[in-house]
Amino acid sequence: MTLISTKNAQTTAVQSITQSHLSIDFDATKLTTDGAQFTATLKGGNDAGDYNSTAAYVVAYN
């Protein structure tokens, strides 16, 4: 799971984007200077930032 929050939203600077809160308003003047800023944190267990991943590769020769 990825936790996504805003850094410079219009009404409240830090807002989390969740299943029940899908959109955020930004001040149009900030979009041309600062842009729409977000933070993202991976959450794979009970704690944010705790993430485990596995990768597997298959190499086949003819």
The per-residue pLDDT for range 3-36, each reduced to its tens digit, is 778 788 887 777 777 778 777 788 888 878 888 8
pTM of the predicted structure, to 2 decimals:
0.53
Q: What is the arithmetic mean of pLDDT over 26-51?
A: 76
Query: Is 60 part of a structural domain of the chain?
Result: no
**Domain of 30, in residue numbers:** 2-42
Query: Is 23 part of a structural domain of the chain?
Result: yes
DSSP helix/strand/coil, 47: coil
Query: Is 53 part of a structural domain of the chain?
Result: no
Look at residue 15 in the predicted model and tell me its pLDDT: 78
Say how many domains are in the chain: 1
Q: Tokens 């219009």 — which residue? A: 10
21 against 61, higher pLDDT: 21
Query: Is 19 part of a structural domain of the chain?
Result: yes
d(CA 8, CA 33): 12
Write out the two tokens for 58: 């298959």
Q: Tokens 């930004």 — which residue? A: 26
Strands of the sheet containing 38-42, edge to edge, are 16-17, 2-6, 38-42
